[in-house]
Amino acid sequence: MTLKISVIVPAYNEEKKIKKCIDSLVNQIYLKKEIVVINDASTDKTGIILRKYEKMRKIKLIDKKNNEGQWKGISDAQKISTGVIVMVFGGDCYLLKNDYFTRLMKRFSSMSIVAVGGVAVYKGKKTIPKVYSKLDSLLMPKEVKYNGELIGGGLAVRADVLKKIGGYSSDAVWAEDADINMKLKKYCNVNKKLTLFDPKLVIVGEYPENLKTIFRRHFLWGFGRYYILKKYGIRSKGELFRILYTPLLILSIILSFLNLSLLYLFLTIFLFPFLYSIKKLKSTELNSKETLLLIIIIYLRLLGTSTGTVMGFLKLIK
């Protein structure tokens, strides 16, 4: 029996990217599919472009008059979706190969698999997004992995399971992907089911184009993390370190200023992320300039996440 997949695409002011996105979905050779797109009251030509696809009956369109946010749109799209599998796909992303759905749906041939995810890559020529994407690839498994964390941009979930776990939470602002992963993990533990990561399921996505945007992105993700920590608690020592990195660094600077003999404390905390990453950096195949940039990005991501999480906790206390 061939399963039907519903692809939900939230879009807001994506006039430069939405056509490539929709075409890559429409042109998939897998036939049993529907594409549900939410135009979240875009102020550019996104709506005009999407209405043309709707007239050609290539998509279902939810054309909002007021901007209600991405996850409200996804929730609305779920209500009219008819697929057994539901996949959320970014309006600024696209698929390289037209057999993506074919490979994806084969992964659901076993009823024990409830969710499948893949990798996002960058295909442009700009240096910062290229290096950022390279860092992401270093952190991703190189082989099929069960019950690992799945990315949100191409996450596919069984529709009945998505309903049972409560779908995407609108209150998990900037932490939606982490929240859905935790819900799936809990569901799998209770029901003895599995999630699956497949590194050959490749999505082309957009990446930050400057260092300021990298810090801001991870600050916002960190800011949303307080919701996850409040709901699920701290899951590992690595997560605890990422949360406390900025406070520990600031504290070590203050202590070193008060007592120079404690400078080693600052150096240990500051250099730890670099020393921890050395082994992986050797396999990057980047030139010296790109390697230096990658190290800077490692620190910006860590500082952004930690600072954002601390600010989220301060908000929670208030």
Condensed to tens digits (0 to 9), the pLDDT of residues 238-250 reads: 888 888 999 999 9
Same domain, residue pair 192 and 101: yes
> How many domains is the chain partitioned into structurally?
2
User: What tokens does 143 get?
Assistant: 């082989």
- The parent domain of residue 308 ranges over 211-317
Same domain, residue pair 179 and 64: yes
Dist. CA 92–CA 18, nearest whole Å: 6
Same domain, residue pair 161 and 232: no
Mean pLDDT, rounded, of the chain: 91
Same domain, residue pair 181 and 231: no
- The residue ranking higher by pLDDT, 230 or 170, is 230
In DSSP notation, 266-300 reads HHHHHHHHHHHHHHHHTTS---HHHHHHHHHHHHH
Q: What CATH number should be reported for the domain holding residue 159? A: 3.90.550.10
Same domain, residue pair 171 and 54: yes
The pTM (predicted TM-score) of the whole model is 0.88
Q: What is the mean pLDDT of residues 163-183?
A: 85
Task: Decide which of 177, 204, 231 is a domain's last residue.
Answer: 204
Condensed to tens digits (0 to 9), the pLDDT of residues 21-69 reads: 999 999 999 999 999 999 999 999 999 999 999 999 999 999 999 998 8
Dist. CA 314–CA 102, nearest whole Å: 46
* Helix axis angle, 237-258 to 263-281, nearest 10°: 140
Least confident span in 85-94, 116-125, 165-174, 246-255: 165-174
Residue 50 near residue 63, CB atoms below 8 Å: yes
Task: Decide which of 176, 204, 232 is a domain's last residue.
Answer: 204
